[in-house]
């Protein structure tokens, strides 16, 4: 069953949105949007502190704690998580899963430490992928600003070996463009590893999503722009997906 996951990029205290992870605009209060998406039938929520890596800390604990009082679906939280203790703070605040990117690229052993401490089901490896001129994709960090030099497919394989329980794959090239997901990227990842994959970056229409699922077979899809700017609602989106023959969770009345 395909999971539909609204993505909430946060620059505390605001929900923001950009294009290719740049040119950030304030959208509103993340709590209001979280509750709205929960009530509209979201399967999970994804919170990302998009400036956390610049300041070596994650500022989402208070936002997540507040959300957990009104939102009763799984929440994945990432951005600036540097240690097991950082993850513990977010899990105590109400997160169900913690996503790491920058710290994992700098010290891959952190993936294993988190999986062993909290269980693989809590450990999401976040990958910001950009196409390489020579072919394939490179993993970036610091919100798509910095080169890691690592090939994405090699990196997700290593992450799986180290105990990641899930992968969040964001196409930096497509993110915020409304031009569709990078289907080739997602397909390469789903074929390379036997882990649940969340695809993020580029959804402009429901047809973009159906093409992605048919050709790349991710377990979940994440989107922001299309929901934040109310170009479609979750109820309508799920109805169209169901009509297209995809299995999605029924929205409870």
Please name the residue that has the structure tokens 């089901």. 121
Cα separation of 231 and 216, whole Å? 24
9 noted as active-site residue: yes
Q: Are strands 97-100 and 22-28 parallel, antiparallel or unpaired?
A: unpaired
**Of 9, 44, 138, 142, which residue is the catalytic one?**
9
128 noted as active-site residue: yes
**Of 44, 49, 96, 128, which residue is the catalytic one?**
128
Cα separation of 149 and 39, whole Å? 41
| Residues 6+ positions from 27 with CB-CB distance below 8 Å | 14, 15, 16, 17, 33, 228
DSSP 3-state of 203: coil
Cα separation of 47 and 74, whole Å? 11
Catalogue the active-site residues: 9, 128
């Amino acid at each position: 069953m395909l999971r539909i996951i609204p993505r909430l990029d946060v620059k505390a205290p605001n929900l923001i949105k950009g294009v290719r992870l740049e040119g950030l605009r304030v959208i509103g209060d993340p709590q209001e949007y979280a509750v709205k998406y929960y009530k509209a039938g979201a399967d999970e929520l994804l919170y990302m502190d998009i400036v956390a890596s610049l300041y070596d800390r994650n500022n989402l604990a208070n936002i997540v704690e507040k959300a957990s009082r009104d939102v009763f679906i799984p929440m994945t939280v990432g951005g600036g998580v540097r240690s097991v203790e950082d993850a513990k703070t977010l899990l105590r605040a109400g997160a169900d899963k913690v996503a790491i990117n920058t710290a994992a690229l700098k010290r891959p052993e952190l993936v294993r430490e988190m999986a062993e401490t909290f269980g693989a089901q809590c450990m999401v490896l976040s990958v910001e992928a950009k196409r390489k001129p020579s072919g394939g994709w490179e993993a970036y960090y610091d919100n798509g600003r910095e080169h890691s030099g690592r090939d994405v497919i090699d990196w997700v394989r290593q992450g799986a070996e180290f105990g990641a329980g899930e992968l969040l794959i964001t196409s930096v090239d497509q993110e915020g463009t409304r031009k569709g997901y990078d289907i080739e990227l997602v397909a390469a990842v789903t074929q390379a590893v036997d882990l649940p994959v969340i695809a993020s970056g580029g959804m402009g229409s429901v047809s973009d999503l159906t093409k992605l699922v048919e050709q790349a077979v991710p377990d979940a899809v994440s989107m922001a722009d299309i929901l934040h700017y109310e170009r479609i609602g979750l109820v309508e989106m799920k109805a169209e997906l169901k009509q297209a023959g995809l299995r999605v969770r029924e929205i409870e009345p």
